[in-house]
């Protein structure tokens, strides 16, 4: 991706990022390739070796038993369980509403020619649940719940061996059929190829670190993946109505995810730009996660001033950020003019944090400008739309002659014969 701080029409920078969150990533491809090959050839034994090497884990049994799953749920703080179930309910309700928009199709395109499609749930999906710096209790909800709503036959969840017990509870409450304490690239390998204990899946979804991301990239093809995820991102487009304290708070809330988080403001108001920079610096003196958020702000923080609304919107679409907030006088009108983003947060009351945790939209979103061609994880990622067709005799009489002529002009005699045979038999009868 092009550095967002490069010259752009109508844009000047009050603060430009010092580093590119993509170019400074470690090259992990060789390490991941070795992990994949080992797990593919030696199965559980290789997984066990990598667990000891990377996670300092000596687990003999990877799968979490039903007794341990139920114990993890029982050990949840009652309020934590209630909040988890609140989030699950919202994510499920939104996924069900989305699923209801996906309908089968049957249409007679011309007389006697019937075309259509079916919505077919995937058979088995693997959900990678990251451990990360914090126990992200919402992570299993976002990948597992939509899969169950879609009708996936079996949902397999993998999470690092040292993940908090509450994460196991989250997987269980979200509906995972099987849960394995396997993390990193070895988890992706186990789900992609299958081992003695881990079943091979048809698609792998969920975010992870650089090793997980690279493993997903390398196994893609024989199995599907949702997307390749880079460092998290938040940008806000704002006019003079923007609230500097709120904007700074939102930037730091996302920056605490990781030291490579990209945080930015694009505004038409120079005074707001300066106020937000000052407010971020002030809040860094009091936020408990300043050690992480401060590095992200120092290295990747961006504040851009646009000469007018058109330049602001054009630059936002160029960035195509993972999370895009709209803080303008008429945020609904502004939102309608934007087209490239992972998820949109319209108006100052719509916080990224609400989506991250519990409001119902999915927080697994495209990064690295992938919002220019795809949206985030949703119930549709767990189904396939497969077409079908059937013919009546008068339909064959309509399509066979042009098919015969086209095949002949292309020099494909087998095609011509297949098209002609049905026509000949119909005419003979």
State pLDDT tens for residues 244-276: 999 999 999 999 999 999 999 999 999 999 999
Spatial separation of the C-alpha atoms in residues 369 and 319, rounded to whole Å: 6
Residue 70 clears pLDDT 50, i.e. is over it: yes
Residues 89, 115, single domain; the answer is: yes
Answer whether 161's CB lies under 8 Å from 57's CB: yes
- Asked if residue 288 is part of any domain, the answer here is yes
User: Looking at residue 2, what is its pLDDT?
Assistant: 47
Mean pLDDT of 153-163: 96
How much is the pLDDT for 4? Answer: 56
pLDDT at 415 over 80: yes
Average pLDDT on 206-232 reads 94
Q: Are residues 98 and 188 in the same domain?
A: yes
Average pLDDT, the chain: 95
In a domain, 380, yes or no: no
Domain boundary among 172, 194, 225: 225
For residue 24, the model assigns a pLDDT of 47
In whole angstroms, give the CA distance from residue 307 to residue 424. 69
- Both 254 and 212 in one domain: the answer is no
* Average confidence (pLDDT) over 288-301: 97
What pTM does this model have? 0.93
What is the bridge-based pairing of β-strands 343-346 and 224-225?
A: unpaired
Give me the residue label for tokens 């400074």. Answer: 24
Taking Cα atoms as reference points, which of 190, 137, 50, 202 lies closest to residue 180? 190
The mean per-residue pLDDT over the stretch 95-113 comes to 98
Judgement on whether residues 35 and 105 belong to the same structural domain of the protein: yes
**Which of 312, 344, 360 corresponds to the end of one domain?**
360
374 occurs within a structural domain:
no
Do 417 and 273 belong to one domain?
no
User: Are 69 and 163 in the same domain?
Assistant: yes
Range 74-102 average pLDDT: 97
Do 121 and 162 share a domain, yes or no?
Answer: yes
The 10s digit of each residue's pLDDT in 322-377 is 999 999 999 999 999 999 999 999 999 999 999 999 999 999 999 999 999 999 99
Q: What CATH number did the domain enclosing 84 receive?
A: 3.40.50.1980
Q: Is 388 a catalytic residue?
A: no
Average pLDDT over residues 106-134: 93
Contact present, 73 and 173 (Cβ < 8 Å): yes
3-state secondary structure the chain: CCCCCCCCCCEEEEECCCCCCCCCCCCCHHHHHHHHHHHHHHCHHHHHHHHHHHHCCCCCCCECCHHHHHHHHHCCCHHHHHHHHHHHHHHHHHHHHHHHCCCCEEEEEECCEEEEEEEEECCEEEEECCCCCCCCCCHHHHHHHHHHHHCCCEEEEECCCCCCHHHHHHHHHHCCCEEECCCHHHHHHHHHHCCCCCCCCCEEECCCCHHHHHHHHHHECCEEECCCCCCCEEEEEECCCCCHHHHHHHHHHHHCCCCCCEEEEEECCHHHHHHHHHHHHHHCCCCCCHHHHHHHHHHHEEEEEECCHHHHHHHHHHHCCCEEEEECCCHHHHHHCCCCCCEEEECCCCCHHHHHHCCCCCCCCCCCCHHHCCCCCCHHHHEEEEEEEEECHHHHHHHHHHHHHHHHHHCCHHHHHHHHHHHHHHHHC
For residues 29 and 37, the answer to whether their CB atoms sit within 8 Å is no
Would you call 96 a catalytic residue per the annotation? Answer: no
Residues 104 and 155 in one domain: yes
Q: How many domains does the chain fold into?
A: 3
| Residues spanned by the domain of 326 | 11-22+230-360
| pLDDT tens digit sequence for 126-145 | 999 998 666 789 999 999 99
What integer is the mean pLDDT of 45-49? 97
Q: What is the pLDDT of residue 429?
A: 86
Q: Of 256, 302, 322, 348, which one is the catalytic site residue?
A: 322
Give me the catalytic one of 172, 257, 302, 323: 323
């Amino acid at each position: 991706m092009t550095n967002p701080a490069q010259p752009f029409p109508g844009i000047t920078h009050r603060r430009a990022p010092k580093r590119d969150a993509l170019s400074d990533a470690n090259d992990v491809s060789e390490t991941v390739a070795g992990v994949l090959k080992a797990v593919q050839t030696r199965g559980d034994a290789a997984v066990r070796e990598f667990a000891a090497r990377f996670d300092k884990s000596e687990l003999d049994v990877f799968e979490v038993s039903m007794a341990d799953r139920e114990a993890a749920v029982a050990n949840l703080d009652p309020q934590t369980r209630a909040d988890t179930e609140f989030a699950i309910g919202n994510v499920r309700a939104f996924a069900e509403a989305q699923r209801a928009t996906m309908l089968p199709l049957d249409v007679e395109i011309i007389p006697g020619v019937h075309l259509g499609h079916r919505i077919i749930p995937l058979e088995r999906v693997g959900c990678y649940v990251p451990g990360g710096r914090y126990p992200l209790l919402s992570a299993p909800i976002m990948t597992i719940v939509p899969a169950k709503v879609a009708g996936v036959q079996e949902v397999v969840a993998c999470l690092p061996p040292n993940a908090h017990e509450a994460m196991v509870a989250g997987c269980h409450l979200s509906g995972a059929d099987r849960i394995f304490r396997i993390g990193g690239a070895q988890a992706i390998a186990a789900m992609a190829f299958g081992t003695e204990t881990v079943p091979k899946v048809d698609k792998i979804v969920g975010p992870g670190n650089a090793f997980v991301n690279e493993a997903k990239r390398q196994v893609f093809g024989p199995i599907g993946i949702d997307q390749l995820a880079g460092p998290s991102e938040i940008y806000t487009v704002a006019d003079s109505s923007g609230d500097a304290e709120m904007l700074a708070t939102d930037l730091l809330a996302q920056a605490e995810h990781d030291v490579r988080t990209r945080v930015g403001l694009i505004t038409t108001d120079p005074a707001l730009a300066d106020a937000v920079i000052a407010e971020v610096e002030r809040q860094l003196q009091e936020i408990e996660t300043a050690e992480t958020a401060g590095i992200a702000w120092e290295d990747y923080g961006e504040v851009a001033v646009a000469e007018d609304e058109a330049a602001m919107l054009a630059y936002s679409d160029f960035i195509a950020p993972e999370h895009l907030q709209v803080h303008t006088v008429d945020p609904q009108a502004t939102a309608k003019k934007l087209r490239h983003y992972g998820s949109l947060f319209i108006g100052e009351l719509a916080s990224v944090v609400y989506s991250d945790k519990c409001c119902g939209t999915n927080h697994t979103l495209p990064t690295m400008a992938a919002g220019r061609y795809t949206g985030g994880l949703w119930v549709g990622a767990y189904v396939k739309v497969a077409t079908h067709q059937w013919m009546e005799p008068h339909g064959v009489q309509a399509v066979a002659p042009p098919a015969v002529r086209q095949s002949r002009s292309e020099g494909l005699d087998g095609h011509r014969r297949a098209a002609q045979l049905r026509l000949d038999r119909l005419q003979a009868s």
